[in-house]
A and B are shown apart, each in its own frame.
Chain A
Amino acid sequence: MRPANPAWRLLTVALVLLIGAGLYWATIKVNYQWRWDRVPEYLLITGGEDVLSPVDGTVAVQGKQITLTPLLGGEPQTFPEIDVVQVSDGEIVFANNTLGKKSGVTPGPLLVGLWVTLQISAWSLVFALILGLIAGLGRVSANPAARDMAAIYVELIRGTPLLVQMFIVYFFLGTVLNLSGFVAGVAALSVFTGAYVAEIIRSGIEGVAKGQMEAARSLGMSHWQAMRHIVLPQAFRRSLPPLAGQSINLIKDSSLVSIMALTDLTKAGREIVASTFSPFEVWFTVALMYLLLTGLLSIYVRKLEKKMAHD
């Protein structure tokens, strides 16, 4: 490819700036108050965390440690490492009074949500790969029953919206089997993504030259040995780019679990927006955090591909 004229780059920058300015102008028109200064505290809480008294009781202070003896009887509770003690020895406190503050940095709601999103995505990816591998092998199996079962699974899942599947899993299966939001979310996402993984694996297997299976079988290997040692490793290599794309979709699709009683990144954003008046800042920040996850993943996969191309 010929190196493009750098003027095109300038045009890109100019267009992006123009669109940004247009958005800004539009928010001014509706008198939007930009409060970007509020955003950091949704990510990290630096002001320290209040430690509240769970019950009515008498406090004893020893340095940084507070011991609370409930007025209504029961085991005394200790609160170690309180950095700023705000009660004095012998004082009587009531439930939800502030005992003191812990200094230091704690993750804010968006970071906590990001962590939940990461966990859901990681677990779902593992199960989706297992499910997809089984269903993909089923698709190319010589056994008609296995072929049909795999085909039904793939068509059912790919033919219905993920959101509807989520509702079914959460409100129906979730209630019947008493699943937690996390388990229900991982289940729905794995089953959904697994259908797409199955198709990727199937086309990867079909893309491996027929001669490979023949050569392996001619050496006396069983069908399964040939699959495991010859066909699947090559199919996996071919499938890596589309699998990476599917993993990125999985991370984005995971935002739908926010319909379940589960505070992922999207739900965290919604909760903050509900209690503040900064929807634009919060949603832009949330979008950026998703972009960070997906971006890191695609960089990693590109590296992996390069490494595999070399050996």
Chain B
Amino acid sequence: MTKTIAPDAEVLIDAREVSKRYPNGTQALTKVSLQVRRGEVVCIVGPSGSGKSTLLRTINAMESISSGEVTMDGISVHHPKTNLNEVRTHAGMVFQQFNLFPHKTALENVMLAPMQVLKMPVEEARERAGKLLEKVGLAEKAQSRPSQLSGGQQQRVAIARALAMQPRVMLFDEPTSALDPEKVGEVLEVMKQLALEGMTMVVVTHEMGFARAVANRVVFMDGGELVYQDAPEAFFSNAQHERLRSFLGQVLPH
């Protein structure tokens, strides 16, 4: 099931020795280094508070860093001269709480950024948005407001909204954690489809089944450090690493 990527695929995201200390003194990341190749799907797992969201959010500069460097396509994301708005158009982000715009329809949610940021004409934006809603299986919900959609449907609209900017990488922060269990599958299915189409993805998740089936690589974080990373088979059968073993012991069914 896992797609393979060319071993010589270029590095798209390169985080080197990234540390992050929040203003209140919390050390959320300590010298984390992570490389993501074009077309790769990387899943990040780890206990609550281990810094997974923080790491993800430093990639598109939603969070500043204290030291280290993150580059995307060779551009230093946190360099003072970097145009953040432009960098962010290349990284689509999907949130745990969906964060759809409640005063706009599903279609308008998807159309807004291409029109405002890329200055795309209305007709073109509408056509692109319609296609993306179709892709996530929600063509018939185009005119619905977020409040009229289930959690699973909202998250799929949110994915379409991020895709509308034609990003080079998609960042997912626990996209299914806020969903009723029976809605998780439909969102994971869309993500899997995206992975198979070759989208580069970084996914913070508690869905070990998804990580095992779709990821090229799984990363384990604990206490603000990147502790261990490996291909899924090796990752989930690893018995050597003490902290990883105890984490997997807690989250995997026995």
- Look across to chain B and name the residue whose beta carbon is closest to the beta carbon of A231: B101
What sequence of 0s and 1s flags, for each residue 14-38 of chain A, a beta carbon within 8 Å of any chain B beta carbon? 0000000000000000000000000
Tell whether, in the assembled complex, residue A221 and residue B116 are in contact, meaning their CB atoms are under 8 Å apart.
yes
Contacts of B91 in A (CB 8 A): 218
**Those of A160-219 within 8 Å (CB) of chain B:** 209, 211-212, 214-219
Cβ-defined contact, A211 with B95, below 8 A: yes
Q: Which of B62, B100, B102, B162 contacts A217 (CB 8 A)?
A: B62
Q: Is A64 an interface residue (CB 8 A)?
A: no
Please give the residue numbers on chain B whose beta carbons come within 8 Å of chain A beta carbons, in ascending order. Answer: 60, 62, 85-86, 88-89, 91-93, 95, 97, 99-103, 112-113, 116-117, 158, 161-162, 165
B62, B92, B116, B165: residue with the most chain A Cβ atoms closer than 10 Å: B116
Given contacts A225-B117, A230-B101, contact A215 B88 (CB under 8 A): no
Task: Check B86–A212 contact: CB distance below 8 A.
Answer: no
Nearest residue (CB) in A for B109 is A215
In this complex, what residue of B is CB-closest to A233? B103
Q: Which residues of the other chain, B, contact A225 by a CB distance below 8 angstroms?
A: 116-117
CB <8 Å contact, B116 and A229 = yes
Verify if A222 is at the interface (C-beta below 8 Å from B): yes
Q: Is A159 an interface residue (CB 8 A)?
A: no
CA A211 to CA B91, docked complex, whole Å: 17
Nearest-neighbor residue (CB-CB) of B60 within chain A: A218
Q: Knowing A220-B113, A220-B165, A221-B113 are in contact, say whether A215-B101 is a contact too (CB < 8 A).
A: yes
Known pairs A211-B97, A225-B117; A220 contacts B88 (CB<8 A): yes
Give chain B residues whose Cβ lies under 8 Å from the Cβ of A220.
Answer: 85-86, 88-89, 113, 117, 165
Asked, given contacts A209-B99, A219-B161, A234-B103, whether A214 binds B85 with beta carbons under 8 Å apart, the answer is no
Bound: A216/B60 CA distance, A: 13
B162 touches A219 (CB 8 A): yes
Residue A237 is within 8 A (CB to CB) of chain B in the complex: yes
Q: Lowest 5 CB-CB distances: which A-B pairs, in order? A: A220-B89, A215-B99, A219-B113, A211-B99, A218-B93
Closest B residue by C-beta to A209: B99
Residue from the set A212, A217, A220, A221 with the largest chain B CB neighbour count within 10 Å: A220
List 13 other contacts, CB 8 Å, given A211-B97, A230-B101.
A214-B99, A215-B93, A215-B158, A216-B101, A216-B113, A218-B162, A219-B88, A219-B89, A220-B113, A220-B117, A221-B117, A222-B85, A225-B117
17 contacts between A and B (CB under 8 A): A211-B97, A212-B99, A214-B99, A215-B93, A218-B60, A218-B62, A218-B88, A218-B93, A219-B89, A219-B112, A219-B161, A219-B165, A221-B113, A221-B117, A225-B116, A233-B103, A237-B103
Residues of chain A whose beta carbon lies under 8 Å from any beta carbon of chain B:
209, 211-212, 214-222, 225, 229-230, 233-234, 237
CA gap between A219 and B86 in the complex, in Å: 9
Contacts of A219 in B (CB 8 A): 88-89, 92, 112-113, 117, 161-162, 165
Bound-complex Cα distance A218 to B93 (A): 6
Cβ contact within 8 Å between A234 and B102: yes
Q: How far is the CB of A110 from chain B (nearest CB, A)?
A: 43
**Which B residues lie within 8 Å of A218 (CB)?**
60, 62, 88, 91-93, 162
Distance in angstroms from A225 CB to nearest chain B CB is 5
Instruction: State A214–B56 Cα separation when bound (angstroms).
Output: 14
Measured CB to CB, the closest approach of chain B to A150, in angstroms, equals 23
Contact for B95 among A214, A233, A237, CB less than 8 A: A214
Which residue among A215, A216, A221, A230 has the maximum number of chain B CB atoms within 10 Å of its CB?
Answer: A215
Give chain B nearest CB distance to A211 CB in angstroms: 4
Partner of A229, one of B62, B97, B112, B161: B112
In the complex, residue of chain A having the shortest beta-carbon distance to the beta carbon of B85: A220
Kindly list chain A residues whose C-beta atoms are within 8 Å of the C-beta of B103. 233-234, 237
User: Chain A contacts of B116 at CB under 8 A?
Assistant: 221, 225, 229
Pick the most buried of B93, B99, B117: most chain A CB atoms within 10 A of its CB: B99
